[in-house]
Structure formats: structure tokens, C-alpha cells
Structure 1
């Protein structure tokens, strides 16, 4: 006898409709993520066309995501290493 449920990998039961909805939701989010990624690429292309360095902008964005203390610590370590290698 079969119903909407089928055996899951762990021996538990999985509702097919629920699983399908979760997968479809994840697929929609992946599509949105791709769209946002394309939008970011467009912004970077616009910045480059206006004479800005896209790599520098991306670096600034990464720095802005970090806590100030975390960034300062990373910069201090980087500077120490660069001094040790005679790069500064």
C-alpha cells in the first residue's frame, strides 16, 4: 500500500509533497541568487567603465563586512609579515 509518503534514507518517512516544496523553494532561491550575482557583475562593470578598480571595490566590501577589531588585527599581522620579508 502506498500513499504520499515514501521511505527516506534514514529509515524515516518523508512526505513527497513537503520534500518537493522544499526543493522548489531552494531552486527559486538559487535563481534569485544568480540574478543578484548578475546584478553585482553589472555594477562592477559600471564601476570599471567609470574608471574605478573593481578589485579594490571588492576588497573594500570584504573589509566592511568584518568587525573593525578583526580587520585591524589582520592588517597588523600582514604588516608584520611584510616587514619580515622586506616588502615595506
Structure 2
């Protein structure tokens, strides 16, 4: 098996690619992009609500959800629509 020699230039290119990927990931996070589907625990963390509150929001039809097997998923776009629809504007 022949040995592969890694040059300083190879390492420099790798570093630049890695930094570019990290910048891309950080820019997506700073833009507030959400995953397409959220699990219950992720949604509870995002909305700062308890498991009981989340269950009540499901039961009364406030939050649409999809159940696959035993896991409940929430569409991030649908959650945003619910949040926008229930927005209270207190400007005088």
C-alpha cells in the first residue's frame, strides 16, 4: 500500500474548506432557519412549554402534528403559521 504524502498546501486547503463550511452553518443558524420537522422535545425547548401544555395544544387542535410509529412530529412551517395567527399586537 503506497504512502500518501500530505503537504502544507493540502492542509491549508482543508482548513479553508472547513472554515467555509463552519461559516455556512453559523450563517444558517443566525438566520433562524428551523428544521422542517421537529420532535416533541425540540418543540418544547423552542416554545419553553411543558409536556402537558404540548399535549393540551395537540388535543384541542391548536398544533397540527404527524405521528409516525410512536414519534410525534410537528411541521416547523405550520408551527410558525400558528404563532403568526395568534400574534397579539399591543401597539396603541
TM-score tier after normalising by the smaller chain length: 0.3 to 0.5
* Greater helix fraction, Structure 1 or Structure 2: 1
Q: TM-score, normalised by structure 2?
A: 0.34
* Greater strand fraction, Structure 1 or Structure 2: 2
Q: TM-score, normalised by structure 1?
A: 0.35
RCO higher in structure (CA 8 A, sep ≥6): 2
Over alpha carbons, which structure has the higher Rg? 1
